[in-house]
């Protein structure tokens, strides 16, 4: 509504939404998005806009390269890592690139049940037994001493 003050991150969320819909070349969009500091993803609106922009990248290699930077970033909240894993599972159709993203999830994020669930769902979506095994072998520690269930 007019007269209400926007949160400080609302313009950034709008910019990410516009970038995702206006930049038609995946390489340019990925370059723009990778400049975002992981700490900015603590704002739910920014995180949602970022995930939407990432989801608009159609080239598996560009999406994977971008996501590997953020799923391993200590400043990215675990709930956002889980969101990005869902984007990866839905948007990356090549097992080698999806496995690459899954192998980069930080131990810190993997301590979250939400991240482990999203990670396991993504692993289950790998059609190649070889890449599914690779992902399971590189599974981060969840900090509880428990192993990841094989899917």
- Per DSSP, 138 falls in state T
Using CA atoms, how far apart are residues 68 and 51, in angstroms rounded to an integer? Answer: 13
How high is the pLDDT of residue 19?
85
Predicted TM-score of the model (pTM): 0.86
- Residues 95 and 126 sit within 8 Å (Cβ to Cβ): yes
- Residues 21 and 29 sit within 8 Å (Cβ to Cβ): no
Place 151 in a pLDDT band, splitting at 50, 70 and 90.
Answer: very low
Half-sphere exposure of 30 (CA within 13 A, CB side): 16
Using CA atoms, how far apart are residues 3 and 57, in angstroms rounded to an integer? Answer: 35
- Residues 86 and 72 sit within 8 Å (Cβ to Cβ): no
């Amino acid at each position: 509504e007019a007269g209400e003050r926007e949160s400080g991150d609302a313009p950034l969320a709008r910019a990410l939404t516009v970038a995702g819909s206006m930049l038609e070349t995946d390489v340019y969009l990925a370059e723009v998005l990778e400049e975002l500091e992981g700490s900015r993803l603590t704002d739910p609106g920014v995180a949602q806009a970022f995930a939407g922009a990432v989801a608009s990248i159609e080239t598996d290699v560009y999406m994977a390269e971008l996501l590997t930077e953020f799923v391993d970033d200590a400043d990215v909240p675990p709930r956002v890592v889980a969101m990005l894993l869902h984007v990866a599972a839905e948007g990356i159709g090549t097992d080698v690139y999806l496995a690459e993203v899954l192998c980069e999830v930080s131990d810190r994020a993997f301590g979250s049940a939400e991240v482990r669930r999203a990670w396991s769902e993504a692993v289950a979506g790998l059609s190649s037994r070889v890449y599914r095994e690779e992902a399971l072998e590189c599974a981060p520690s969840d900090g509880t001493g428990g192993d990841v269930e094989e899917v």
